């Protein structure tokens, strides 16, 4: 598999740019497959961190067709 690089073009955290929220926001640029792979890897790390804190992350249910038609 060929490795591709991605660039972080924006980063916001509670200390820089998101005020008093607990969110971290990153914007990436690069090959779409490489960006997707980086996001999936970051999600897996985040799930592991939440698990280490004693919480088992669970996925949100998919919206029903009635909810998406509104």
pLDDT digits (tens, 9 = 90+) for 4-63: 688 989 988 888 877 777 788 888 899 888 888 888 888 888 888 888 888 777 777 777
30: left (phi over 0), alpha (psi -120 to 50) or beta: left
Cβ atoms 39, 9 nearer than 8 A: no
pTM for the full predicted model: 0.58
Which residue in 9, 11, 7, 10 sits closest to 30, CA to CA?
7
Which residue in 1, 48, 46 sits closest to 24, CA to CA?
46
Instruction: Count CB atoms within 10 A of the CB of residue 14.
Output: 12
Cβ atoms 28, 9 nearer than 8 A: yes
């Amino acid at each position: 598999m060929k490795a591709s690089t991605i660039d972080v073009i924006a980063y916001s955290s509670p200390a820089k740019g998101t005020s008093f929220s607990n969110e971290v926001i990153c914007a990436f640029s690069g090959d779409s497959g490489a960006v997707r792979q980086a996001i999936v890897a970051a999600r897996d790390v985040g799930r592991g961190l939440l698990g280490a804190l004693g919480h088992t992350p669970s996925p949100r249910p998919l919206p029903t067709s009635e909810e998406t038609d509104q």
